[in-house]
Amino acid sequence: MELGMIGLGKMGMNMVFRLLEGGHRVVVFNRTVSKEENVINKGAIGSNSVKELIEKLAPPRVIWLMVPSGEPTDDMLNEVLKYVRENDVIIDGGNSYYKDSVRRYETCSKKGAKFLDCGTSGGIWGLKEGYCVMIGGDDDAFDRCEPIFKTLAPKDGYLHTGKYGSGHFVKMVHNAIEYGMMEAYAEGFEIMKTSDFDVDLEKVAFLWDHSSVIRSWLLELAYNALKGDPELDNLKPIVDDSGEGRWTLKEAIDRAIPAPVIADAVFMRFRSRQENSFAARMLAALRHQFGGHPIHK
């Protein structure tokens, strides 16, 4: 089938490559022309504007947005809505907050357009391994777009999660769980790193990934990282977050669901961005004041 893809970042471009390999006709638009040329050389059809992209698609159209969450997605959706017709399907494949997706569904419905919120996991490995795709929205819109999801995902790698908003909701929780798993691996490897034993962390990661109950794709990626840089000397200890952990934590608080692992993982990411934290200095000062414990100038 055919679709339009708006946004050719790290994931969007590889998704286009995978769709082209699957025999789909893909019309693309990206503000950075050089990225558009990369996929045109592989068979995609370029466009100079959102309007031109939509004009190159036969109705009823499918337009996939792969742009940063928040205001950029709203801006692009508003631009797309200027040109769509009734029963066109707009898919948001970014990491949007699910409540924004509910609002966007209602906005599209007023124009007669369909909207699918599509949580997409796979990162830079998605081209080779496929993407895990979680789709929320109406049955008829999902059914029409299912050939796209089939191509993007590996076997059993996509799911219609329910009504609008549910796709990004499930992806939000998925990423929060990922935070907790990554934090546990990081802490465990640091404990081994600082032990009295000369543990080869690369070999341990390889071992666990092949025979342990804690094996996972993340562990395979840990092995890859350690293999290239056993001391991780090329990295600064700064960990960003794209929002899903915070959103999941807020959801847990609103529903009075205990989520201490996710909470700690989120806060540790915040801590990683602080150099010479005031809170840590305050703790040192308090210990010195009440107990005379030594302080490091």
Domain match, 246 and 209 both: yes
pLDDT band, very low/low/confident/very high, at 182 (cuts 50, 70, 90): very high
- Same domain? For 156 and 180 the reply is no
Determine the structural domain holding residue 109 and report its residue range: 2-164
220: CATH:
1.10.1040.10
97 with 175, same domain: the answer is no
Domain C-terminal end among 164, 189, 218: 164
* Any domain includes 133: yes
Residue 96 pLDDT level (bands cut at 50, 70, 90): very high
Q: What is the mean pLDDT of residues 58-86?
A: 96
Q: Looking at the domain assignment, is residue 296 inside a domain?
A: no
Examine the domain organization and report whether 123 and 176 are in the same domain. no
Question: Across-strand partners of 26?
Answer: 3
Same domain, 176 and 224: yes
- Return the pLDDT at 279: 87
Segment 144-149 shows an average pLDDT of: 98
Model pLDDT, residue 277: 86
In a domain, 21, yes or no: yes
pLDDT band for position 144 (cuts 50, 70, 90) = very high
The residues pairing with 2 across neighbouring beta strands, listed in sequence order, are 25
125 plus 239 within the same structural domain = no
Asked if residue 177 and residue 273 are part of one domain, the reply reads: yes
Which pLDDT band holds residue 276 (cuts at 50, 70, 90)? confident
CATH assignment of the domain containing 11: 3.40.50.720
Q: How many CB atoms lie within 10 A of CB 200?
A: 13
pLDDT at 293: 82
Please write the tens of the pLDDT for every residue from 107-137.
999 999 999 999 999 988 899 999 999 999 9
Query: Which of 149, 164, 179 marks a domain boundary?
Result: 164
What tens digit of pLDDT does each residue of 5-43 get?
999 998 999 999 999 999 999 999 998 888 899 899 999
Average pLDDT over residues 79-89: 96
How high is the pLDDT of residue 289? 86
Q: Which residues are the active-site residues? A: 171, 178
Say whether both 10 and 128 belong to one domain.
yes
pLDDT of residue 55: 96
Q: Does the residue 287 lie in any domain?
A: no
Residues 54-66 have pLDDT tens digits of 999 999 999 999 9
Residues 117, 12: one domain? yes
How confident is the model over 138-154, as a mean pLDDT? 98
Q: For residues 136 and 166, is the Cβ–Cβ distance under 8 A?
A: yes
Q: What is the pLDDT averaged over residues 40-59?
A: 96
Q: State residue 286's pLDDT score.
A: 86
State residue 81's pLDDT score. Answer: 97
Task: Answer yes or no: do 12 and 129 share one domain.
Answer: yes
Does residue 294 belong to any structural domain of this protein? no
Write down which residue in 107, 141, 164 finishes a domain.
Answer: 164
184-220 per-position pLDDT tens digit: 999 999 999 999 999 999 999 999 999 899 999 999 9
Q: Assess whether pLDDT exceeds 90 at residue 155.
A: yes
The tokens describing 9, both together, are 């970042």
Residue 291 lies in a domain: no
The average pLDDT across 244-273 equals 95
Write down the pLDDT at residue 287.
87
Question: In the prediction, which pLDDT does 204 show?
Answer: 96
pLDDT of residue 185: 96
| Whether residue 181 sits in one domain with residue 109 | no
Mean predicted lDDT score pLDDT of the chain: 94
Evaluate whether residue 194 is within a structural domain: yes
Question: Domain count of the chain?
Answer: 2
Q: Which two tokens stand for residue 214?
A: 């804690």
Question: Looking at residues 278-286, what average pLDDT do you find?
Answer: 87
Q: Are residues 222 and 244 in the same domain?
A: yes
The reply to whether 290 falls in a domain is: no
Tokens matching residue 106: 């209602």
